[in-house]
Chain A
Amino acid sequence: MGSANLKMLNRYHVIFLAQSIMLGTGILSLPQKLSAMGYTEWFMPILFGIVATLTLWPIVWLCSKYPNEHLFRINEILLGKVLGKVFNSLFVIQFIIFSAGIISNYMHLIQSTALPEQTITLPVLCFLLLLIYIVSGGIKSIARFCMMSFFITIGMFYFTRWAIEKGEVSHLLPLLNFSGKEFFNAFKEGYLSILGYELIVFYFPYIIDQKKAFRHSLIGIWISIFLCFFTTVVSVIYYSEWQLKNVEFSVLNLFKAGEFTFVERIDIIGITLWVFLILSTVTAYVWCAKLGVDSLFKKKNKYELYVIAAIIFLIIRMPFSREFQDKLFTASNYIGYMLIIWPIFLSMIYVVRKKKVQQ
């Protein structure tokens, strides 16, 4: 790793990697996650955007100190070989469970809306095959796929037209009508939806123009933030507070408001197109997991990607109860926050051990 000829991501790749990894299943249920705040939730995505911008800064700063290394290597350098490897393997496990969580979440949604009379085994298998295909092309092919999925799916925002027509704009008022506890709950639940931008610590060494990587990532982040903001505002004006709290996939029901003379169920079209967004998110996480496995073993292994895919399949179809699965995925979601704090923690270690590690 780390040789100069690996640099292959141009600025558009960086923008859309940051953008597409953020938008996954999260945005589907974002308005519901924020619903503790009631109607006032609509400005929260903007706040998330600001927080994301602030946390991206230490991440990129740390990366810029090691322009040719990704996080798994940085871990080993800063924490020592043994401790670094322990944490790396934890990261790998986290990524695998996190990806499995996203896929399983989406597949259950598909099952309950589009394919009510089928088991999800076959769709999951097809999904994983595609996943392997994209990931084996490396980070560049993922970035290209991200660009493609952005332009394919962006048209879906047209489907919210009817909801906007029907909505009551006055729901946006009064401003800032919430208590501290409600705010905290909404923040905790909702911020998960915009995770994903922190993966730059893994693909940073592949970026050509590393000096501008921060700016390009920011553009990507704010595109996503704007889309989240838009969905949240539309949901707020279209739903009552009860509906915001109780309709799990708000976006799906926004699509249901639509009417074409030739299509009855626009929500099905929307939800099946969503697979692009899910794929672009999951591929990035699986690629990171693969990178982690690479760094754990000295010998290069050809089959690790297949093994990862098999593990994901087992986690989704494992014979555990739905309750256990849910707990597992929620836990991995919260560990997801760790990845944002981790670079800050590493930066501190870097500052403390500056002289030692710079040799």
Chain B
Amino acid sequence: MNRKLLGISLLLLVLLVGCSRKELKVPLEDIGMVGIMAFDYIDENQMKLTVAIPQYALEAQQKTQVFSVATDLVSNGIVEMEKLSDKKIVFNQLRVVLVNEDFARKGEVRKVIQHLYRNAEVGNKVLIAVAKDNAEAILKGDYPDKPNINIYINDLLEPSINTAFNPNTNIHDFMYTITNPVTDTIIPYIEKRDDKIEINGVAVFKGNQMHEVIKPEEALIVQALLGRKSLAPLHLDLHEGHGEEKLMIDLIESSIKMQSNKSIKSPKLIINLKIKGTLSEYKGEREYELNTVESISHLEKDINKQLEVDITKFLDKLKNMQVDPSGLSEKFRMYYHGTWTTKQTREVIGKLKTEVHVETSIISTGTLK
């Protein structure tokens, strides 16, 4: 009896497979994995969506497929794109999102990124950058010495030792900073130059819109204030009574301590920055004097003064713009009972008095005397 039953069920198992529906899954070759998305501003309701998909077919002339459509919704744009594409478009491999400057200033960046944040296919580590002029042109550009635009831009925006000013904003960081009342969002700002792309500075947002582009040197201060441990080589112009001096310090370690007076009415912040590094290059009057401990410690003091001036100047600039990319107002929110709003952040930043102390220590000047 049992054996009969087993036989019948085995037979059924084999035969009934023929009745199963055809597999609806798309084979891997027919999937177009988007590597980069770019958004360009057209008008209030419309944006231009461009995607770059790596091309693996050997017969194809180009290594990347680029599609571009004008659309009002992101997902609608993807549907439009499927009409043009020979493949099914998926976001699992999305690495970079570019928005052009107009879109960042006038468009709904937050909505677009929030759409991607909601999407379970998209990871949270997708990097974001603001492109000068036209983001589509960056994707369509020709980079003869680069393997593939997808790899190029991703590698460019990834953290690297010499671009510590780059905030490496990813989708989580963007959503975190834009929804957090105490910080304003910062995004790297890139520009296309012939067949190269350059990170030119950092775009600072105010609320949901882009406000201003700051220079890499200033962006480095933001990173220092945010507490980044290793900052890029620091380039300094000293004007401390020894003529014009130029020097470069390889920063090994930096640490920051901030102390607020906990008062929102007359906010005051004491900032202590300690940096440790090696002097890698120097050009100026004291070139041949820098071989004693005293002269080095004298130089350290000059660097301290110069950095204090630079940081204070930059903080004043932020004060005038009333933006807070480095989350200084968090130091006041920590002691505030009640709900903290963006308005309070603006007030605090507008009234903020700062006192900056920098302590540099140069560990070595290299192996040559």
Interface residues of A (CB under 8 A from B): 38, 112-113, 116-117, 168, 170, 173-174, 177, 239-243, 253, 256-257, 259, 264-265
Contacts and interface: CB of A to CB of B under 8 A. Distances in A.
A253 B121 CA distance: 12
Nearest to A265: B123
A256 B327 CA distance: 24
Given A38-B339, A170-B330, A174-B337, A241 B124 contact: no
A232 B120 CA distance: 22
Interface stretch (B7-15, B173-181, B203-211, B351-359): B173-181
Given A170-B334, A240-B176, 11 more contacts: A112-B120, A116-B121, A117-B24, A168-B330, A174-B334, A174-B335, A239-B176, A240-B179, A256-B124, A257-B124, A257-B172
Report the 10 A-B pairs with minimum CB-CB distance, sorted nearest first. Answer: A242-B179, A240-B180, A173-B334, A256-B124, A240-B179, A113-B120, A170-B334, A177-B337, A240-B176, A112-B120
Contacts of A38: 339
Interface in B299-357: 327, 330-331, 334-339
A174 to B, nearest CB: 6
14 contacts: A113-B120, A117-B25, A168-B330, A170-B334, A174-B335, A174-B336, A177-B337, A239-B176, A241-B179, A241-B180, A243-B175, A243-B179, A253-B124, A256-B125
Interface in B150-191: 172, 175-177, 179-180
Contacts of B176: 239-240, 243
Contact of A259 (B24, B125, B327): B125
Interface of B: 24-25, 120-121, 123-125, 172, 175-177, 179-180, 327, 330-331, 334-339
Nearest to A271: B120
A46 B179 CA distance: 28
Nearest to A268: B120
A112 B121 CA distance: 9
Nearest to A252: B120
Contacts of A257: 124-125, 172
Contact of A256 (B24, B172, B177, B336): B172
B243 to A, nearest CB: 43
B338 A177 contact: yes
Contacts of A112: 120
Given A168-B330, A256-B123, A242 B338 contact: no
Contacts of B331: 170
Nearest to B262: A174
A271 B337 CA distance: 36
Contacts of A241: 179-180
Contacts of A113: 120
A208 B338 CA distance: 51
B179 A264 contact: no
Contacts of B327: 168
A9 B330 CA distance: 51
Contacts of B120: 112-113, 116
Contacts of A256: 123-125, 172
Contacts of A174: 334-337
A243 B125 CA distance: 16
A346 to B, nearest CB: 43
Contacts of B25: 117
A257 B339 CA distance: 27
Nearest to A249: B120
Contacts of A242: 175, 179-180
Nearest to B121: A116
B335 A264 contact: no
Nearest to B176: A240
A20 to B, nearest CB: 27
Nearest to B339: A38
B121 A264 contact: no
A75 to B, nearest CB: 43
Contacts of B336: 174
Contacts of B179: 240-243
Contacts of B24: 117
Nearest to B182: A240
Contacts of A116: 120-121
A261 to B, nearest CB: 13
A204 B269 CA distance: 59
Contacts of A177: 337-338
B182 to A, nearest CB: 9
Among B120, B121, B327, the most chain A Cβ lie within 10 Å of the Cβ of B120
A117 B25 CA distance: 8
Nearest to B175: A243
B330 to A, nearest CB: 6
Nearest to B90: A116
Contacts of B121: 116
A170 B260 CA distance: 13
Nearest to B180: A240
A1 to B, nearest CB: 34
A220 B121 CA distance: 36
Contacts of B338: 177
A117 B120 CA distance: 12
A326 to B, nearest CB: 19
A256 B119 CA distance: 12
A66 B83 CA distance: 71
A244 to B, nearest CB: 10
Contact of B123 (A117, A239, A243, A264): A264
A256 B122 CA distance: 10
Nearest to A38: B339
Interface centre among A173, A174, A265 (most CB of B within 10 A): A174
A36 B175 CA distance: 19
Contacts of A264: 123
A242 B123 CA distance: 19
Nearest to B336: A174
Contacts of A117: 24-25
A308 B152 CA distance: 57
